[in-house]
């Protein structure tokens, strides 16, 4: 069957067979063979699109990779009655993108006098409702992470749990709070972890940025601490990588791709989360507590400069982050030890960090290093499938967005080249693709994007 061949009619059995191949659930298809088509998910996907049995909105990647596509419906317990430090008198802010539905962290400061400031990073106390080896824990481990697709979100945990534990969704909220006592230069002389109760105001990054620019003390202090922390980490070799980011949204009618704004408060919040992970790792190490510590080998080479090609090359020097039950350096962050600790609603290994910290705080038996290592292995494999499904689905809908604008010209930058082949980056799409051009890295080009092929996730660029 060629593109010009008459379209066949599939029986319900044949359609089911082809769909199973497209979804990666079956390797062989007599129907595809009889039509002279390859027995591949891409060929099956192409046929289903041509027959209009699937729409362009349909993405099969999570299905192919085995990522869970149904919500968690397990029952969950209530918060128990346990002692908590009352911090409801402190101004506390959960700062997220507009439309965020799972606020799991918040920040605030407390003046200690003599030029010292206590940075508080409060995190939803998910582990209070999801103890180790509970049914909810097992389900979260099997998923590894929340699946964020352009057209929907499938939680690692029940939506009702997110609503119950989310910071700022109730007048006051239980939290697991991480604190760092910092001097004017950003040096920490103490870290601690506590079970708390907080009163949280939710803000978008834009609203927080406006309050920073208006000179509100809390936001100015957060900014000062974040910049001091970043300077210290850079002095220890932390790498700065600034590449375009976008938000991809989609539904049956189409897709949109919007560049992600980067106000200063986005950097401030990210730096506070990094400090919280560092502090949690220090606290655990001081107490001999196994965690899924995040480690990263030193970069393979030194790349200087602030151009897009430099940032592109610098990212390629980074080794993949590894998780292990004993601490080790994270060279990309310029830290001697680190643990991801601020997203227990969305990442299973963050939840394990919280379970371990809670065990220490409540006098319960923590998981052993061997048990932590087993969770790292199982959840890591499942989370990898989730991340890959997200990446492929974002590209699919990005190509839908491109295909809907065939005459549009795009700004692009050559960020790398190997012989006659260059890598082109389109900042407005955060999309890279190959192009045969003699242009050197750093060259700005205008291109049109053609030959969009959704099943193959491919397209071509030509200069204009």
Domain boundary among 54, 70, 97: 54
Shared domain check, 174 and 206: yes
Q: What was the pLDDT predicted at 4?
A: 56
The two tokens of residue 106 are 């918040």
CA angle 328, 333, 337 (to 5 degrees): 25
Residues above pLDDT 90, as percent of the chain? 92
Domain boundary among 397, 430, 455: 397
Shared domain check, 421 and 350: no
For residue 6, name the pLDDT band (cuts at 50, 70, 90).
Answer: confident
Shared domain check, 308 and 193: yes
Say if residues 293 and 338 touch (Cβ distance below 8 Å). Answer: yes
Counted domains in the chain: 3
Q: Do the bridges between strand 85-86 and strand 188-198 make them parallel or antiparallel, or are there none, so unpaired?
A: parallel
Q: What was the pLDDT predicted at 5?
A: 66
The pTM of this model reads 0.94
Report the C-alpha gap between 36 and 26 in whole angstroms: 18
β-bridge partners, 195: 176
Report the C-alpha gap between 426 and 459 in whole angstroms: 13
Shared domain check, 145 and 10: no
Q: What was the pLDDT predicted at 45?
A: 98
β-bridge partners, 325: none
Domain with residue 17: its CATH number is 1.10.10.10
Shared domain check, 203 and 156: yes
59: in domain: no
Say if residues 332 and 341 touch (Cβ distance below 8 Å). Answer: no
Domain boundary among 366, 397, 428: 397
356: which residues sit within 8 A by CB, 6+ positions away?
Answer: 284, 289, 290, 291, 366, 367, 372
67: in domain: no
Shared domain check, 233 and 134: yes
168: closest CA among 96, 261, 270?
Answer: 96
Minimum mean pLDDT range among 49-53, 178-182, 185-189, 365-369: 185-189
Shared domain check, 45 and 26: yes
77: in domain: no
How many Cβ atoms from other residues are within 10 Å of residue 4's Cβ? 5
72: in domain: no
Shared domain check, 312 and 202: yes
Q: At what angle do helices 205-213 and 264-286 cross, to 10 degrees?
A: 100
Shared domain check, 155 and 302: yes
142: in domain: yes
Q: Which domain holds residue 130?
A: 85-397
Shared domain check, 295 and 171: yes
Exposure string over 46-83, b if 16+ CB within 10 A, otherwise e: bbbbeeeebebbbbbbbbbbebbeeebeeebeeeeeee
Shared domain check, 235 and 181: yes
How many Cβ atoms from other residues are within 10 Å of residue 388's Cβ? 15
Q: What was the pLDDT predicted at 146?
A: 95
E strands present in 284-440? 293-295, 322-324, 410-418, 421-426, 431-436
Domain with residue 435: its CATH number is 2.40.50.140
Give the mean pLDDT of 310-321: 93
Shared domain check, 177 and 289: yes
211: in domain: yes
Length of the chain: 464
24: phi > 0 → left, psi -120 to 50 → alpha, else beta; which? left
Say if residue 457's pLDDT is above 70. Answer: yes
27: in domain: yes
For residue 2, name the pLDDT band (cuts at 50, 70, 90).
Answer: low
75: in domain: no
4: which residues sit within 8 A by CB, 6+ positions away?
Answer: none
For residue 134, name the pLDDT band (cuts at 50, 70, 90).
Answer: very high
């Amino acid at each position: 069957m060629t593109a010009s061949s008459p379209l066949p009619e599939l029986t319900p059995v044949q359609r089911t067979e082809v769909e199973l191949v497209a979804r990666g659930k079956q390797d062989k298809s007599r129907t595809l063979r009889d039509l002279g088509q390859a027995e591949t998910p891409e060929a099956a996907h192409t046929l289903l699109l041509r027959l209009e049995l699937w729409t362009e909105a349909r993405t099969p990647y999570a299905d192919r990779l085995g990522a869970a596509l149904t919500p968690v419906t397990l029952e969950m317990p209530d918060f128990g009655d346990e002692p908590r430090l009352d911090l409801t008198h402190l101004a506390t802010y959960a700062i997220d993108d507009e439309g965020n539905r799972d606020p799991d962290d918040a920040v605030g400061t407390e003046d200690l006098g003599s030029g010292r400031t206590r940075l508080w990073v409060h995190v939803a106390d998910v582990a209070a409702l999801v103890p180790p080896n509970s049914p909810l824990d097992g389900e979260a481990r099997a998923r590894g992470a929340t699946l964020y697709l352009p057209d929907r979100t499938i939680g690692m945990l029940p939506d009702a749990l997110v609503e119950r534990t989310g910071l700022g969704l109730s007048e006051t909220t239980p939290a697991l709070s991480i604190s760092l006592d910092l001097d004017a230069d950003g040096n920490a002389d103490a870290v601690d972890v506590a079970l708390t109760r907080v009163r949280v105001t939710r803000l978008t990054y834009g609203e927080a940025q406006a309050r920073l620019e208006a000179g509100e003390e809390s936001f100015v202090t957060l900014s000062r601490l974040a910049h001091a922390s970043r300077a210290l980490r850079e002095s220890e070799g932390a790498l700065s990588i600034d590449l375009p980011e976008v938000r991809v949204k989609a539904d049956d009618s189409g897709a949109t791709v919007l560049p992600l704004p980067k106000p200063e408060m986005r950097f401030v919040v990210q730096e506070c989360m990094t400090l919280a992970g560092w502090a949690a790792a220090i606290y655990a190490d001081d107490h001999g507590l196994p965690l899924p510590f995040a480690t990263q080998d030193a970069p393979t080479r030194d790349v200087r400069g602030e151009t897009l090609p430099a940032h592109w090359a610098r990212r390629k020097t980074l080794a993949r982050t590894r998780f292990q039950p004993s601490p080790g350096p994270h060279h990309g962050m310029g830290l001697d030890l680190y643990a991801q600790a601020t997203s227990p609603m969305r990442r299973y290994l963050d939840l394990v960090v919280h379970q371990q910290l809670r065990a220490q705080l409540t006098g319960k038996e923590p998981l052993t290093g061997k048990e932590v290592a087993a969770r790292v292995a199982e959840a890591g494999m499942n989370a990898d499938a989730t991340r890959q499904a997200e990446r492929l689905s974002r590209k699919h809908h990005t190509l839908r967005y491109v295909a809907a604008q065939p005459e549009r010209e795009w700004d692009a930058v050559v960020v790398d080249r190997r012989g006659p082949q260059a890598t082109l980056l389109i900042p407005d799409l955060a999309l890279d693709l190959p192009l045969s051009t003699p242009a050197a890295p750093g060259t700005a080009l205008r291109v049109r994007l053609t030959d969009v092929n959704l099943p193959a996730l491919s397209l071509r660029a030509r200069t204009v």
